[in-house]
Structure 1
Amino acid sequence: MLFDMDGTLVDSEKVWDVALYELAARAGGTLSPAARHAMVGSSMATSMRILREDLGQPDRDEAADVEWIESRVEELFAQGLVWRPGALELLHAVRAAGLPTALVTSTGRRLVEIALNTLGRENFDAVVCGDEVSAPKPDPTPYLTAADLLGVKIAECVAIEDSPTGLASAVASGAAVLAVPAELELPPTDGVHLRDSLEGVDLAFLGSVLTSIHG
């Protein structure tokens, strides 16, 4: 099992909203809704590029912005994260069944370590962070890396995602994909199962996702 984090397991995109809008205000501007939407599921480098373009400040110091926003999000993550509907129950069911499980996120290791205080380190056999792969989502590398770390074939994995960027990564990797939108609407995609939430998703349903795509 391969789980995305932000917007899939926990409702952390709203935390990122706070930090990103605050950073834009500190820069003397306002982050547009379109730019914020484009950041969902993206790597930090991509998000900071979008921020600079949106603010019309191409020469902003990226390293300073990254440090500020990571510190702010760290503060917010430390206050606790809210689980998405059905996510905790599904994660517990997957672990109880002994299925190899990985967290595959665009978020960097520094913040993931804080989030794991909520998610539970014991719930994952591998953790793939956005700043630890050669190419982040939407490239398939994060999911392929996770499958390698688990010692399983990617075609035998179900990946759960909430964003267009993450969905593209999971589909390109060759995993079976369950899409559960959070902040952004997801259009129907060939071979992808789309649900409103993870409530009611159980091991039998995950099995059907796998078999319906790979036979």
Structure 2
Amino acid sequence: MNRSDLPVPDLGRQEFELPRAVLWDMDGTLLDSEKLWDVAMAELAERLGVTMTVALRQSTLGNSMQGAMTKLYVAAGIAEADRDLDAQAAWIRGRVAELFAGGIPWRPGADAALDTVASLGIPMVLVTNTERDLTERALPTIGKHRFAHTLCGDEVAEGKPAPDLYLAAAAAVGATPAQCLAIEDSPTGTEAATAAGCPVLVVPSDAEVPPGPGRTFRDGLLGLDIADVVTAWRPIGSAGDSVGH
């Protein structure tokens, strides 16, 4: 079915148009992989001599490797000259790879939500701060074939919360960020999508995401349908953010 032939529900607007692309975050949005990262990050924190508190872990959610590591170093009181980022990043990559090998659970409703968006004929792009090697280990679970492109945090100048990944994702499908809908779970990822100019459907997982222009909130991906996509995708600054169900 062509996307132009799809019936769009009456949501109180005169005209409807679907986004040019849907840009999906991975960890915490599609996959419940943050629980696996929790294990590795807590172990690394212990190696660095600091306790991984809930607040510290939440501050690292959705971060690039360097961003997350820097927050651990600061919490541990490790001076910049004494930080061995390369060695410790290599350790955490290896540990997360071990954990991924045991299987990565889906977030509730995520598999069906991908199918729903695909059925609308909307191209999808995976936009993740996770580095390419670990992303490739996760893609067999999600299905690489679903995505027109996959973009990773180590493939842009700056990862989330900088807008680089979302700007690159929109450009990859020949669209502007405002023509795309981003789907995110974390404050870091939502900030990145907003900074790029994408409307965002926020499905919070482990950390609260503040409201803001262009952000629509939903409790999760279970039951996501065309009405949710149409409602969430609208120009930044349009009246009335929609808060979840």
Both proteins in one fold, TM over 0.5? yes
CA contact (8 A) 1:102 1:127 kept: yes
Unaligned runs of 5+ in 1: none
SS of 2:233's equivalent in the other structure is helix
Report the counterpart of residue 141 of structure 1 in structure 2.
164
**Alpha-carbon distance between aligned partners in 1 of 2:235 and 2:167, rounded to the nearest angstrom:** 21
Report the counterpart of residue 77 of structure 2 in structure 1.
56
Q: Which digits, 9 at most, give the CA deviation of each residue in 1:80-137, with x for residues without a partner?
A: 1111111111101212332111000111001000010111110111111001111211
CA contact (8 A) 2:214 2:234 kept: no
Letter in 1 for 2:69: M
1:211 and 1:24, CA in 2 relative to 1: closer, same or farther beyond 3 A?
Answer: closer
Name the larger-Rg structure.
2
SS of 1:80's equivalent in the other structure is coil
1:23 and 1:96, CA in 2 relative to 1: closer, same or farther beyond 3 A?
Answer: same
CA contact (8 A) 2:198 2:214 kept: no
TM-score (norm 1): 0.94
**Alpha-carbon distance between aligned partners in 1 of 2:129 and 2:91, rounded to the nearest angstrom:** 18
Report the counterpart of residue 225 of structure 2 in structure 1.
202
**Alpha-carbon distance between aligned partners in 1 of 2:156 and 2:105, rounded to the nearest angstrom:** 27
Q: Which digits, 9 at most, give the CA deviation of each residue in 1:46-70, with x for residues without a partner?
A: 1111111111223131100000000
**Alpha-carbon distance between aligned partners in 2 of 1:192 and 1:132, rounded to the nearest angstrom:** 26
TM-score (norm 2): 0.83
CA contact (8 A) 1:176 1:213 kept: yes
| More helix, by proportion | 1
Letter in 1 for 2:28: G
Q: Decide which of 112, 133, 139 is 2:135's aligned counterpart.
A: 112
Report the counterpart of residue 45 of structure 1 in structure 2.
66
Letter in 1 for 2:206: E
Q: Kindly report structure 1 stretches of 4+ aligned residues shifted beyond 3 Å.
A: 211-215
**Alpha-carbon distance between aligned partners in 2 of 1:35 and 1:175, rounded to the nearest angstrom:** 28
Q: Which digits, 9 at most, give the CA deviation of each residue in 1:140-199, with x for residues without a partner?
A: 111010011122222111100111111111111111110110001123223210111111
Report the counterpart of residue 33 of structure 1 in structure 2.
54
State the number of aligned residues.
Answer: 215
SS of 1:127's equivalent in the other structure is strand
RMSD over aligned Cα, in angstroms? 1.5
**Alpha-carbon distance between aligned partners in 2 of 1:165 and 1:28, rounded to the nearest angstrom:** 25
**Alpha-carbon distance between aligned partners in 2 of 1:24 and 1:139, rounded to the nearest angstrom:** 25
